[in-house]
Amino acid sequence: MTPRSIRFDDDLLRRLDRYVRDHPGTSMSSMTSVFVDEALRAEEHPGIMFRPGPAGRRAGLVGGPDVWQVIDTLLTVRESAPELDEDALLAETAEMSGLARTQIRVAVRYYAAYSTEIDEWITANRELAAHTEQQWLAEQDLLRGTRVR
């Protein structure tokens, strides 16, 4: 990283300082970088916004789900029906997700630019879902009086 000198309005600095105080483990420099990056990404990809969560900040559709969720649905459709052309893939993804094709295209464009990041979200959430299912099955076995071996 190259250090830069940037001047901010006093009110903006107060708000950024308050954000950093309210989010332990962050710094003024790191959050300025995050917010500028997110603003540039949102500018480059209209229809994308960023939201916080327990697992970190992530890209989402304005008024819709996270980008990783849309792409995960699209990939699931593609895996189950690889013969679908683009229009049919979008139509099936729209039907499964309840989103408009234009929203799916916004997610796809963002994914094309930031696929590694979105793939990491998909992998983490698929692993969490598998772990949660495994725990639930073990609990069901325990409740029925059997044990998982």
Q: Per residue in 32-73, pLDDT tens?
A: 999 999 999 999 999 999 999 888 899 999 999 999 999 999
DSSP 108: H
- Residue 120 falls within a domain, yes or no? no
Q: Tell me the three state secondary structure of residue 8.
A: coil
- Residue 29 falls within a domain, yes or no? no
The residue segments making up the domain with residue 104 are 45-114
Q: What is the pLDDT of residue 22?
A: 94
User: Distance (Å, rounded) from C-alpha 109 to C-alpha 103?
Assistant: 10
Number of domains in the chain: 1
pTM above 0.75, yes or no: yes
User: Distance (Å, rounded) from C-alpha 83 to C-alpha 85?
Assistant: 6
- Residue 102 falls within a domain, yes or no? yes
How many other C-beta atoms lie within 10 A of the C-beta of residue 77?
Answer: 21
- Residue 95 falls within a domain, yes or no? yes
- Residue 56 falls within a domain, yes or no? yes
